Structure 1
């Protein structure tokens, strides 16, 4: 049975407003850009955060309306 090898990036540091940059290699691999939506989940043991793309993108115009 083949297992997928994980490649870890970082460490990264949270900013004062609790933001963190996603490495460009991951953004490119997932074809994510400005406005791309992602979801977060906490693993069952509470040791990892999972991030996944939703497949949806919000435009800057949408962002200015909701803000």
Structure 2
């Protein structure tokens, strides 16, 4: 996707423990849920943080039983 084709969501604010909420439409589009693993990378120019799902999930025992 070219830079001019990007649809931005937010702004979002980091919490005191450096967490941020991912917009629901993005979670749904990528089929992500609690426990989904993500990877982070800094772009070469240092202007973007890139996030991508690993395709794996780390669900707790309680979350597995709830399903």
Distance 2:60 2:23 in 1: 22
What's the offset of the Cα at 1:9? 0.4
Structure 2 partner of 1:19 = 19
RMSD: 1.6
Query: Unaligned 5+ residue runs, structure 2?
Result: 62-67
Q: Does 1:49 align with 2:21?
A: no
Q: 4+ residue stretches of structure 1 with deviation over 2 A?
A: none
Structure 2 partner of 1:6 = 6
Matches within 5 A, 1:22-41: 22-41=22-41
Query: Unaligned 5+ residue runs, structure 1?
Result: 62-67
Matched length? 60
Give the TM-score normalised by the residue count of structure 2.
0.83
Q: Secondary structure at the match of 1:33?
A: coil
Give the TM-score normalised by the residue count of structure 1.
0.83
Distance 2:25 2:49 in 1: 18
